[in-house]
Structure 1
Amino acid sequence: MNSFCLAATAFILLFCLSSRRVDAVEHGKNIIDIHCHTAGIGAGGSGCFVSPALQNSWKYRIYLKAFGVTEKELQKEGDSLILRRLSEKLAASQRVAAAVILAMDGVVNDAGELDTARTEIYIPNEFLAREVRRYPNLMFGASVNPYRRDAIQRLEKVADGGAVLVKWLPSIQHIDPADKRLVPFYLKLKELGLPLLTHTGEESSFTRTRDELGDPERLRLPLSLGVTVIAAHAASNGRNCGERNHDRFLRLSQEYPNLYADISALTQMNRLGHLLRLLNHKELHERLLYGTDMPLLKTGIVSPYAFLFRLPPAKLLAITGIENPWDRDVALKEALGVDDVIFTNVAALIRMPARIAKLISSKSNGGRQ
């Protein structure tokens, strides 16, 4: 490459990065990530665990690297290290102010107790609720398997502990959202004002799944009872009963105004085209929520260059050059057509702790109180 080409490339890069900084200042730091994961191996008495099958999988090392930790570091400092690293990286973001960190309950046996033999990953509510209070930019997303013997009491406890939502991953927790035995659980969710964030579509992050439980049609029961339901990933992959899950989600969204969806994971290379297809439904924009599915953003499955034929080279270069994963994700989704309404919907949906509301207000006003 000759000197002229080098100079031209440098000029384009500097121009694009300068534009990005201006955009960040203009927009302010007021975005909430509603879909952010943590993990743990039980270090420091956390109570977390990862199944032997998942630890022996090639995915395990990738996840540790994406979280920015090693197994040795976790053994030395405890599982709370992952939350500290998440908070620090989030604090460095110019656009995203806070994130909902998700607990993960396990599979439950016939006696209504945790079945560790069939559970792939477990992140207890008690550990997460305690740890997120230490950070000004993290919120508690609880997880309660409704088949637990004391599920209602657990719901009340996590609500008292500051939970802003309840998270399910039915295909690995073996939860059937359409099971009529769950009606009391749903009514308690509604009473407590806790949204249900539940995975929809296929699941590929674990070693075994029951993907039929991710069928969005199974959400009719909680929706009919008035529960606020958030379909994680907008059912963007897989099929059930001969239909695309996404089409089944769209039909439900027309019937139930209490059905929302997050846009996490929709820029992954295994979901190309899904975000653009979803954004075509303008009537849904006020019910779409920003999320990242962190740490998957940092596993190599998301790249701006996957959109080489949709975005101009200068824009791709600028986005690729953004170091912070949240800022890079926001910039990519903005370039693909995600509007300000979608980026700010989360704040209007969840009951934010006072410390988070204050943080959002401060960051939105350039740090001025």
Structure 2
Amino acid sequence: MTVIDIHCHTAGIGAGDSGCFISPKLRRSWKYPIYLKSFGVTNTELEREGDCLVLRRLSERLAASSRVQAAVVLAMDGVVDSRGILDRERTEMYIPNDFLARECRQHPNLLFGASVNPLRPDALERLDAAAAAGAVLVKWLPSIQGTDPADRRLVPYYRRLAELGLPLLTHTGLEESFTRADNTLADPARLRLPLEEGVTVIAAHCATSGRSHGEENLARLLPLFAEFPSLYADISALTQVNRLGHLPRVLQHREIHGRLLYGTDMPLPATGLTSPWFHLFRLGPVEARRLAAIGNPWDQDVELKLALGMPEEILFRTARVLKIDQHQKHS
């Protein structure tokens, strides 16, 4: 059966007329060279070969995995101003849909995950275009993009998502990868509105970090699973050093095992943030050494999560939720 990583990132600096950009502030951040290295590229290479190089390297590394066959690569729409126009000053990273859709078509193991800020005046048309271009889901980062999932102005957007059959993968919990974030917008309780409108919602990182209104975000997410059969959560990033114990904590809730989807938050596993040695207490030295010797980041991620108690069936659920034909991209 096909194993799909539902949560994989790319990046770009605008090389090769990609339309991507990274803000000067983020490029000055200590995180920027780490991200470049984790993608397996240098600034010089990007300027010479174009941002498509990131996708090529990602595809090649994924093709070398023995455990994961495909990954959903996520676009990133930006912040928009009061007129609904892209606000470059407040946008830290931008990856346009048309660039990503075109590049994913070049790589059979990469699936196109679109991103459309719902506050754009032509948001519905952009959703239609993304679906026509082969998008398998739509990704939001509310705390970065400045969107409130509970805003009733978004009801037409949610209804279009439901009509198109496009799931909404949206960040829940603290956001720590950018230089600024409004984490009040990542409160999982705000997802009630899209769920009520019939959208398949995937809570990224299973809301395992942070608190909202004095309550842990995971505790605010859990009751929604019982109420809405169309709610899922991904387990990406849950083995990072800043999230130690998060995966076992989620897995304690056996009632949601059937709603968990496999994801990595790649390239973060390639930065060393998910080293098995961070889990030495749970794994023991022999198992930690075995896992640390696995070179491919996807293979190591799968094996580490299995060792920490992830049921194997979680690996195979994404293809069904996204309605991906098992032979569609991998025959």
Provide TM-score, normalisation by structure 1. 0.88
Describe the superposition over 1:307-330 as per-residue Cα deviations: whole angstroms up to 9, x where unpaired.
111113222111100000000000
1:118 corresponds, among 87, 90, 102, to 90
3-state SS, counterpart of residue 96 of structure 1:
coil
3-state SS, counterpart of residue 138 of structure 2:
strand
Name the counterpart of 1:49: 21
Q: Distance in 2 between matches of 1:351 and 1:282?
A: 24
**Could you say which structure has the larger radius of gyration?**
1
1:279 corresponds, among 233, 248, 251, to 251
3-state SS, counterpart of residue 274 of structure 2:
coil
Aligned length: 331
More helix by share: 1
Q: Distance in 2 between matches of 1:36 and 1:327?
A: 14
Describe the superposition over 1:45-73 as per-residue Cα deviations: whole angstroms up to 9, x where unpaired.
00000001101110111100110100000
Name the counterpart of 1:251: 223
Q: Distance in 1 between matches of 2:267 and 2:233?
A: 19
1:216 corresponds, among 188, 198, 223, to 188
Name the counterpart of 1:335: 307
Name the counterpart of 1:90: 62
Matching of residue 236 in structure 1 with residue 208 in structure 2? yes
Question: What letter matches 2:140 in structure 1?
Answer: W
Matching of residue 357 in structure 1 with residue 327 in structure 2? yes
Q: Distance in 2 between matches of 1:312 and 1:41?
A: 41
Matching of residue 295 in structure 1 with residue 277 in structure 2? no
Q: Distance in 2 between matches of 1:81 and 1:50?
A: 16
Name the counterpart of 1:198: 170
Question: What letter matches 1:234 in structure 2?
Answer: C
3-state SS, counterpart of residue 309 of structure 1:
helix
1:269 corresponds, among 225, 241, 245, to 241
Describe the superposition over 1:212-256 as per-residue Cα deviations: whole angstroms up to 9, x where unpaired.
000001101001111100000000100010000111011222222
Matching of residue 100 in structure 1 with residue 72 in structure 2? yes
Q: Distance in 1 between matches of 2:110 and 2:328?
A: 13
Kept in 2: contact 1:97–1:359 (CA 8 A): no
3-state SS, counterpart of residue 134 of structure 2:
coil
- CA drift of 1:30 comes to 2.6
Gaps of 5+ in 2: none
Gaps of 5+ in 1: 1-28, 363-369
Query: For structure 1, which segment, 29-38 or 91-100, has the greater mean C-alpha deviation from structure 2 after superposition?
Result: 29-38
Name the counterpart of 1:132: 104
2:150 corresponds, among 166, 169, 178, to 178
- CA drift of 1:358 comes to 4.3
Question: What letter matches 2:165 in structure 1?
Answer: G
2:292 corresponds, among 306, 320, 342, to 320
Question: What letter matches 2:274 in structure 1?
Answer: V
Matching of residue 154 in structure 1 with residue 126 in structure 2? yes
Q: Distance in 2 between matches of 1:220 and 1:79?
A: 37
Q: Distance in 1 between matches of 2:85 and 2:147?
A: 14
- CA drift of 1:359 comes to 4.9
Kept in 2: contact 1:69–1:82 (CA 8 A): yes
Q: Distance in 1 between matches of 2:228 and 2:2?
A: 28
3-state SS, counterpart of residue 288 of structure 2:
helix
Describe the superposition over 1:165-186 as per-residue Cα deviations: whole angstroms up to 9, x where unpaired.
0000000100100000000000
Q: Distance in 1 between matches of 2:75 and 2:207?
A: 21
Question: What letter matches 1:301 in structure 2?
Answer: L
Name the counterpart of 2:141: 169
Name the counterpart of 1:345: 317
CA RMSD of aligned residues (A): 1.1
Name the counterpart of 1:309: 281
Name the counterpart of 1:69: 41
Q: Distance in 2 between matches of 1:359 and 1:75?
A: 30
Moved over 3 A (4+): none
Q: Distance in 1 between matches of 2:136 and 2:82?
A: 29
Name the counterpart of 2:232: 260
Describe the superposition over 1:69-90 as per-residue Cα deviations: whole angstroms up to 9, x where unpaired.
0000000000000000000000
Name the counterpart of 1:17: none
3-state SS, counterpart of residue 73 of structure 1:
helix
